Chain A
Amino acid sequence: MKDKQLSVSAIKEGTVIDHIPAPALFKVVSILKLDTLDTMITIGNSLGSSKLGKKGIIKLSNVFFKDDEINKISLVAPSAKLNIIREYDVVEKRVVEIPDEIFGLVKCVNPKCITNNEKVNTRFDVVSKSDVKLKCHYCEKITDQDNFDIL
């Protein structure tokens, strides 16, 4: 078991984001703005996973997320799991949760919405979390998860 994990090196302190669906990996990178960090990051993608088929994994040294930060990835990677690492040990496991409000990230499905016609950030109230439904703060129309167009 340990040998298999060595293909992606272990970290001493930090966060491992595991079980990211492979197609969502780079969206997670961009949502969390990982390209702006200068800490050590290991990214693996299309790794075998019994649950997801192919999964992505991100290991971040010395990075710890606040809940509202990490919850932003819930729209693209609801299955993601977080392992918080201290001294090479997993000290805490967390799942991502869909927040009550979403700022930016998703495009409103309504072509007549002001957010699709003028430079203004999208904003949604999450009206359903199991089958994710977002209600646009501006045009009040519902965007559901089949129609997510991640910005």
Chain B
Amino acid sequence: MKNKSLVSITDFTKEEYLRILELAAEFEAKPRQDILKGYVISTLFFEPSTRTRLSFETAINGLGGRVIGFSDSGATSASKGETLHDTIKMVSNYADLIVMRHPLEGAARLASEVSSVPIVNAGDGANQHPTQTLLDMYSILKTQGRLENQKIFMVGDLKYGRTVHSLLQAMSLFNPTFYFISPEELKMPATYKLHLEKMGLNFHEGKDLIQFLPEADIIYMTRVQQERFTDPIEYERVKNAYILRRDMLKDCKETMKVLHPLPRVNEIHTDVDSSPHAYYFDQARNGVYVRMAILSAILGVK
């Protein structure tokens, strides 16, 4: 993985996923290590993302590395009309690795082709967010003890939600069964279902799948956003139909965990927070260890 950019979740192999998850567990056991001392990592956030940026910067600081960068392109030369190409060319002179988030899809791939240092994609529009996927996988591994043979329910916006698409692609290497629950307008796109069929994997789709929740190992919730609907009345009609409440979980397996990439709006009722099934805040903490693992593997210090 040394010097390899992480732009799309499919850039890494199954073995590489497993190596990252193994390293993440090491960092969780020993989160303060000076192994990035002397390294400069640039965090370029062309659009704001407090959670992801803080998670990366916490990871870098925890390993003794230094951070340069910006958290809003309004304060940079991008606002003077500098191209992404030129910004990346310039920054790759200064840093050992670039972490970037950009509102345009494919921006990180382009950056990885012009940069002389590796790029880690921290989100490019609705396209990819591979470090989120790896932390989701780490959360599954940690709570279920294995990645293989999981029954994973994906709920909410399955059409535009990049986290569910990437997680589906990565987990499809571990023989999962997927259950898709979403409004009609936000169904899982055909290309991902085709991918599962090609892999010979089972999936189920439909609103009535709620009755199978007791079989779930993982419930992965996502936000249903109003702007995704062409018809505002339709949004009003469905918005409350995809809310997870504590009483819905009463027959679930003890080990079942609810994941969510956050931020949550109202799709998980706050009464779930105190349930032993709630894992979304722990999931966010796992992100720091997983990002430590990714950065140190790519920089070749682990």
* A interface residue numbers (CB < 8 A to B): 110, 112-115, 117-120, 136-142
Contacts and interface: CB of A to CB of B under 8 A. Distances in A.
Interface in B155-203: 191
Given A118-B84, A140-B8, A113 B106 contact: yes
A138 B107 CA distance: 7
A110 B160 CA distance: 13
Contacts of A141: 105, 127
Nearest to B191: A142
Contact of A138 (B103, B110, B126, B191): B110
B8 A113 contact: no
Given A140-B8, A142-B191, A114 B83 contact: no
A119 B84 contact: no
Contacts, number: 51
B107 A114 contact: yes
B77 to A, nearest CB: 14
Given A120-B110, A140-B127, A141-B105, 20 more contacts: A112-B103, A112-B125, A114-B102, A114-B105, A114-B110, A114-B124, A117-B104, A118-B84, A118-B110, A119-B85, A136-B106, A138-B105, A138-B109, A138-B110, A139-B104, A139-B105, A139-B106, A139-B124, A140-B8, A141-B127
A115 B85 CA distance: 12
A112 B105 contact: yes
B83 A138 contact: no
- The 6 A-B residue pairs whose C-beta atoms are closest, nearest first, are A138-B106, A139-B105, A139-B106, A114-B106, A114-B104, A114-B107
Contacts of B8: 140
B106 A140 contact: yes
B128 interface: yes
Given A119-B83, A141-B105, A142-B191, A112 B126 contact: yes
A110 B110 CA distance: 15
A110 B104 CA distance: 10
Contacts of B124: 114, 139
A113 B110 CA distance: 11
Interface in B87-130: 102-107, 109-110, 124-128
Nearest to B111: A114
A140 B104 contact: no
A115 B110 CA distance: 9
A135 B295 CA distance: 29
12 contacts: A112-B125, A117-B104, A118-B85, A137-B106, A138-B106, A138-B109, A139-B105, A139-B124, A139-B125, A140-B105, A140-B127, A141-B105
Contact of A140 (B85, B102, B128): B128
A138 B125 CA distance: 12
Contacts of B83: 118-119
Contacts of B107: 114, 138
B158 to A, nearest CB: 16
A113 B125 CA distance: 9
B104 A112 contact: yes
A142 B190 CA distance: 12
B205 to A, nearest CB: 20
Contacts of B84: 114, 118
Contacts of B103: 112
Contacts of A120: 85, 110
Contacts of B105: 110, 112-114, 138-141
Nearest to A120: B110
B191 A115 contact: no
Nearest to B114: A120
A113 B128 contact: no
Interface string B53-81: 00000000000000000000000000000
A146 to B, nearest CB: 15
